[in-house]
């Protein structure tokens, strides 16, 4: 009898349906002619092959200059990691840098085995909050702000394991022999590459008598004279350098260029996709993601939509979808892609959409038509407010101020409350957040107390950063 019973329908978990986002991305890519080859053979057939080949030669020369590997006979009973070329046309910075055809040799690190080919992989990067605090300080003190980029940063890291890799396609040495690359330095694509680079750079900065910030290990500072400091903020291979005197910045640039292959970007104008617009005569600075948001709106075909002037409509009462027939499949709408794209804008320069992003991001795995409508409403608001920027001005006192609030039982599914806070340093916004509280508050007073507790914890971190 047990064999004749009706078996339940087996469905994959919702998280495994995310692959359909890639299908949508491929459809979008097919509609727009790609300007970048996807492999070595495509690059050879591309109309800009000479430019791509020039980028490959530049990459190869950097690898050889850094003594990244030795060519050896292929060892027996040893795993050999494969590699491939990646191609990217970089638009550059208008008025500062021309478009570049960049080629990068990348190891296929997904074939590495933990405990054998690598151990630790975590590598810190500077916090967005730390960048904004520095910019607020820079405006107040009228400091110099410069930017540098490390060429082939990951190639400077020293490897702790013995790794073998195939020779790069198009640049094989002794192709008639069965030879491979014995890696001596880390390479892009390796699991441990970011960590090894960070360890190398941190050791170098310690040798130069710099110290780390207590709350952000990627903020380096050094007192030079008369109580003045020079600051360096590191995000993987992008650096911001700030000091009262340009002489001190030039000294630091010279030291860095002597140790690493650096690219001097001059006065800082863009960091992490955020445009830095400074008016020194008026003592103001703007952080803008206008160009990024315009690309997002165009990508998801909302450039012709009617605009609205609120991030989320008051009529939206969002809750989970329980019936499968009410769901909107990710193969039909790019829900996760849109929310993820807008979340980056919220983290960078748009605290005004923090609440809306926190609301729609709760339904990433099971979204319905009403959730998708709410996301489109948010896109329509951003279309109306693409020119809205963070404005930094000179404040009277360089002190931390914060504001917090809560919304009791605002979540319709679990009756959880929402906490929100915003902090300023020197009168300029540097930190914000809107999220569900971790426990169910039994009253508005308790919800307010939880929100205040979280805000106080953030205030303490900002005091240390400052």
Q: CA gyration radius for the chain?
A: 26
Q: Are strands 69-73 and 144-150 parallel, antiparallel or unpaired?
A: unpaired
Q: What one-character-per-residue DSSP string does 342-356 give?
A: HHHHHHHT-GGGHHH
pLDDT digits (tens, 9 = 90+) for 223-238: 887 778 899 999 998 9
Of 382, 331, 340, 349, nearest to 24 (Cα)?
Answer: 331
List CB contacts of 441: < 8 A, sequence separation 6 or more.
406, 408, 409, 416, 417, 447, 450
Q: Is the pLDDT of residue 27 over 50?
A: no
The predicted structure's pLDDT at residue 129: 92
Q: Is the pLDDT of residue 32 over 60?
A: no
26 confidence band (pLDDT: 50, 70, 90): very low
Angle at 271 between CA 216 and CA 308, to 5 degrees: 105
Distance CA 140, CA 426 (A): 8
294 confidence band (pLDDT: 50, 70, 90): very high
Phi and psi at 164, nearest 5°, equal -115, 145
Distance CA 154, CA 162 (A): 17
Taking CA atoms, 428 is separated from 205, 229, 234, in Å, by 29, 21, 22
Distance CA 96, CA 297 (A): 26
Q: Which three-class secondary structure state does DSSP give residue 207?
A: helix
pLDDT digits (tens, 9 = 90+) for 298-347: 999 998 899 999 999 988 888 888 877 777 777 788 999 999 999 999 99
User: What predicted TM-score, i.e. pTM, was given to this entire model?
Assistant: 0.81
- Report the pLDDT averaged over residues 125-136: 92
């Amino acid at each position: 009898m047990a064999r004749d019973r009706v078996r339940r329908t087996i469905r994959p978990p919702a998280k495994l349906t995310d692959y359909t986002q890639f299908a949508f991305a491929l459809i979008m890519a097919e509609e727009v002619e790609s300007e970048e080859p996807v492999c070595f053979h495509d690059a050879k057939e591309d109309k800009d092959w000479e430019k791509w080949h020039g980028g490959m030669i530049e990459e190869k020369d950097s690898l050889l200059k850094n003594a990244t590997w030795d060519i050896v006979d292929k060892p027996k009973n040893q795993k050999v990691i494969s590699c491939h070329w990646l191609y990217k046309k970089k638009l550059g910075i208008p008025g500062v840098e021309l478009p570049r055809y960049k080629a990068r040799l990348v190891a296929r690190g997904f074939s590495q085995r933990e405990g054998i080919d690598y151990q630790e992989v975590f590598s810190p990067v500077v916090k967005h909050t730390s960048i904004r605090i520095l910019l607020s300080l820079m405006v107040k003190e009228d400091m110099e702000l410069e930017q540098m980029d490390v060429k082939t940063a990951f190639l400077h890291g020293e490897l702790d394991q013995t790794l073998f890799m195939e020779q790069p396609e198009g640049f094989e040495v002794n192709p008639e022999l069965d030879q491979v690359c014995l890696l001596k330095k880390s390479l892009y694509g390796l699991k441990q590459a970011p960590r090894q680079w960070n360890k190398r750079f941190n050791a170098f900065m310690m040798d130069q008598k710099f110290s780390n910030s207590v709350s952000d290990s990627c903020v380096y500072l050094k007192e030079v004279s008369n109580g003045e400091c020079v600051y360096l903020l590191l995000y993987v291979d992008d650096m911001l350098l700030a000091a009262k005197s340009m002489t001190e910045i030039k000294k630091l640039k010279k030291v860095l260029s002597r140790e690493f292959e650096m690219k001097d970007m001059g006065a800082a104008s863009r960091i992490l996709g955020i445009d830095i617009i400074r008016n020194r005569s008026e003592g103001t600075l703007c952080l803008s993601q206008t160009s990024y948001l315009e690309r997002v709106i165009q990508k998801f075909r909302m450039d012709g939509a009617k605009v609205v002037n609120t991030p989320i409509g008051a009529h939206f009462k969002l809750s989970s979808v329980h019936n499968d027939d009410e769901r909107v499949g990710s193969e039909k709408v790019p829900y996760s892609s849109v929310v993820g794209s807008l979340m980056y804008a919220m983290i960078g320069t748009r605290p005004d959409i923090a609440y809306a992003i926190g609301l729609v991001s709760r339904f990433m795995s099971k979204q319905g038509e009403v959730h998708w409508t709410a996301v489109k409403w948010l896109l329509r608001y951003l279309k109306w407010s693409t020119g809205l920027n963070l404005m930094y001005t000179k404040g009277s006192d360089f002190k931390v101020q914060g504001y917090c609030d809560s919304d009791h039982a605002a979540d319709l599914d679990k009756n959880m409350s929402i906490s929100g806070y915003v902090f300023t340093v020197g009168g300029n916004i540097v930190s914000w957040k809107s999220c569900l509280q971790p426990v169910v508050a039994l009253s508005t007073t308790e919800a307010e107390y939880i929100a205040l507790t979280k805000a106080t914890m953030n205030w303490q971190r900002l005091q240390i950063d400052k």
